[in-house]
Structure formats: C-alpha cells, structure tokens
Amino acid sequence: MSDAAYDRPMKTRVLVLGAGFGGLELATVLSGALGDAVDVTLIDRGDAFVFGYSKLDVMFGRTTLDAVRLQYRDLSKPGVRFLQETVTEIDPAARRVTTDGGEHEADFLVIALGADYDFDATPGLAEGGNEFYSVAGAAELAGLLPSFSGGRAIVGVCGAPFKCPPAPSECALLLDDYLSAQGVRGECEISIVIPFSTPVPPSPGTSEALVAAFAERGIEFVAGRRVASLDASRRVAVLDDGVELPYDLFLGVPKHRAPDVVIASGMTEDGYVPVDSRTLETRFPGVYAVGDVATVGVPKAGVFAEGAARVVANAVLAGIRGGESPVYDGLGSCYIEFGGGRVGRVDVDFFSGPKPTGVFQSPSGALVAEKHEFGASRRARWFG
C-alpha cells in the first residue's frame, strides 16, 4: 500500500439503526452537508417506508398499499448506504452492532428503531380483535371492513404512550365516513376509548373540536380508560376499571415498547431509551436515540423524530467540524383528519414554557393541500 493511502483521513462512521422519519432525515442532512466525506450506514429490517398517516388511507380503501410504499432501494445519496438487515445485538459502550448480515462499528451510533407492539400485554387482543397501527394490520382491515354492516365498533387504546396521539380520533371519524358511504351507519355504533382525559391533552382547542365532532356524529367518547383485555368468546372489551363493552368489531392500538434488541442492550428504562431532551444523547458517549424508541418528553410522532434527527445530525457535524450544535426545541405540527374531507392541524410546543401548549388550526381546504405537501416534500427530500 502506498504512503498516500496511509495519509488519507478515515471517514467518520455514522451508524443509524432504523429508516423511519428519524433515520431518513438524519441520513439526508449528513449527506447534504458532507457528501462522500462521511460514511453513513442506514440499517432497517424492512424494504420500504410508509408514512404513518397512510395506514388509515389504506385501511379505509382510499389508496393501496403498493401506492404508499417507498422502496429503500431507491435511496441514492452521497455518503449513504442502505442495508436491509435485522439488528440482533447492540453494544452501546463499544458502539458496535451485530445484524443477521454481519458486524458494524461506528464513531456515532443513532438508535432510531421505533416502538414495537406488545400484543401479549393485552390478553385476547391477538385472538379477539384487529389493530390498525401496523402496515399489515391496516391492510388486513381493508379487506375486513366491507363485511362489517352492523353492530358496535370500538376504537380502543391498550396503553400509553402510543404513536400519533390523534390517530385513534381520526380512525373513529373516518370510520363514520366509511360506514356512511357504505349506507350502513344507521345500523352501527362507534365508541372510542383512550387513556387520556381529552383527545389531545396539550391543546384544549383541538380536544374541544374533536369532542364536538364525536358528538355531532354520534360517536361515544370514553375518556381516561384503556382497554385491559378482550374476551374473544363473549366479544367483550374489558376496560382497566372492570367495565365491559360488547363489540362486533374491535380496532385496537396495541401497547407499545422498545424493540427487544434495544431492551436487551441495557439502554432502556421503563421500556424506552432515556436521553437528554435537548441533545438526544444517551448515557453512552457518541450514542443517540431519536423518535419512538426514546423518552424525550414529546409525543411519539414522525414530525418530532424528524426534528430530533436534525439536532443529532448537527451534533455529528459539530463533532467533525467543531462548533456548537443547536438544542432540540420540542416543536411539532400534526395534521388531523376530521372526516368529510376536512383536515385540521395542531401546532405543539413542549419545551418553551412551564407546560406543553398546543394551538389548533381549524379544518380547511388549505390544510388538506398542506398535508399533501408535507408528504410530497419529504418523499422528494428523502427518496428524490
């Protein structure tokens, strides 16, 4: 080997586990800033990305699964390589990761593996209900819903925290739309069960608008309760206070937790990875966690993972170039489907004041277009 080869500086190795909102944004920012001067390895067990809100579109027949799957093979960014592998072991102290494809070491390690669903935590859920939070669950329901023509449908949350807090409310309102379009709404009842006292606790305005929409559409709102179990033989949902609700169709939000491989790494507390809420760094130097896998103090939603990923990307850039890295601001906006082709928005601030606040933007045609642009811009940014 020539002396010149020894003189070449080694590229900084950034290993990102998980190619969701956080992982894709992190890889994009680093590639844009450093190009081929950085070595970013992005690992995910799946072969495609799906926006969370697209699952409701698939479930209610507004689009197809193939139409919303963004293939990771289409990722093409300088300095970034994607590997479809399953993570089997994480050594955060050594910043070493083992997968079914080999071993990887990093200068910076970012855990962005999201949250998994713990079906065993809710007895009877796997046997007696359906869930719409996974891509597979939403796709299965797309085939089942046309046969539901009468009885009681329950949209039930089985534990908190859970991804995208407005999603159960959206599901109930869109189910009302769907059953009305099918001509069977009069033969059906809809109930929604959530563990919060209001649909969107940081934003009284958003919560009031959703509760009013439930009342207008004859949707029963059961607040401050979670679904503890399902009795499949009797078709009954048992709430955490012992109250039983009979159902003919159960649309569940399973309890969430960090993936098993993350828990096995010793990084978690109470099921998730604790991080500094301003820097997203774990207790292990050079190891960060963003998105649903982390305990940050913000909701488990893509827009917050994206914002956190930008902070981590700038921390990596500061580590390479020097200088200061910005801190995470805890700001985010979520679009909310109100049914009837209407979309609202809540703008939430979690860190500026003594408590989280949320400002509600009433449903409008402009917000329908804005939500579409939100998805289109990220699709172009990450996969274009």
Alpha-helix residue ranges (DSSP H) falling in the chain: 3-7, 21-34, 54-59, 65-68, 125-128, 135-144, 167-181, 204-217, 260-264, 302-321, 365-383
pLDDT value, residue 322: 87
**Distance in angstroms (rounded) separating the CA atoms of residues 289 and 308:** 9
Asked if pLDDT for residue 266 goes beyond 50, the answer is: yes
User: Tens digit of pLDDT for each residue in 63-95?
Assistant: 999 999 999 999 999 999 999 999 999 999 999
pLDDT value, residue 6: 40
Give the number of other Cβ atoms within 10 Å of residue 13's Cβ: 16
pLDDT value, residue 3: 46
pLDDT value, residue 1: 42
- pLDDT band at residue 325, thresholds of 50, 70 and 90? confident
Asked if pLDDT for residue 318 goes beyond 70, the answer is: yes
Q: Are 131 and 61 in contact (CB under 8 A)?
A: no
Q: Mean pLDDT across the stretch 264-293? A: 96
User: Tens digit of pLDDT for each residue in 181-238?
Assistant: 999 999 999 999 999 999 999 999 999 999 999 999 999 999 999 999 999 999 999 9
What dihedral do alpha carbons 211, 216, 222, 228 form, nearest 10°? -110
Position 36: which residue type? D
| Range(s) of the chain covered by CATH 3.50.50.60 | 9-115+258-328, 122-256
Q: Residue 371 has which token pair?
A: 């939500």
Q: What is the CATH number of domain 122-256?
A: 3.50.50.60
**Distance in angstroms (rounded) separating the CA atoms of residues 121 and 118:** 6
Choose among 94, 104, 113: nearest CA to 40.
104
Choose among 42, 193, 152: nearest CA to 106.
42
Give the number of other Cβ atoms within 10 Å of residue 111's Cβ: 33
Beta-carbon contacts of residue 245 (< 8 Å; ≥ 6 apart) = 152, 154, 191, 193, 222, 236, 237, 239
Mean per-residue pLDDT over the chain, rounded: 95
Choose among 13, 19, 38, 44: nearest CA to 106.
13
- pLDDT band at residue 326, thresholds of 50, 70 and 90? confident
Asked if pLDDT for residue 289 goes beyond 60, the answer is: yes
Q: What is the CA radius of gyration of the chain?
A: 22
pLDDT value, residue 364: 93
- H/E element holding 71? strand 70-71
Q: What is the CATH number of domain 9-115+258-328?
A: 3.50.50.60
- pLDDT band at residue 9, thresholds of 50, 70 and 90? low
Q: Residue 320 has which token pair?
A: 């390479």
> What does residue 52 show for φ and ψ, rounded to 5 degrees?
-55, -40
Q: Mean pLDDT across the stretch 318-345? A: 93
Choose among 345, 337, 357, 369: nearest CA to 167.
337
Give the number of other Cβ atoms within 10 Å of residue 8's Cβ: 8
Asked if pLDDT for residue 163 goes beyond 80, the answer is: yes
Q: Which residue has the tokens 């999603």?
A: 167
Question: What b-and-e string marks burial along 145-174, b requiring 16 or more CB atoms within 10 Å of the CB?
Answer: beebeeebbbbbbbbeebbbbbbbbbbbbb
**Percent of the chain at pLDDT above 70?**
98
Asked if pLDDT for residue 4 goes beyond 80, the answer is: no
Among 95-99, 134-138, 283-287, 319-323, name the one with the lowest average pLDDT: 319-323
Asked if pLDDT for residue 304 goes beyond 90, the answer is: yes
- pLDDT band at residue 338, thresholds of 50, 70 and 90? very high
Quick one: angle between helices 204-217 and 167-181, nearest 10?
A: 20
User: Tens digit of pLDDT for each residue in 91-143?
Assistant: 999 999 999 999 999 999 999 999 999 999 999 999 999 999 999 999 999 99
Q: Are 42 and 27 in contact (CB under 8 A)?
A: yes
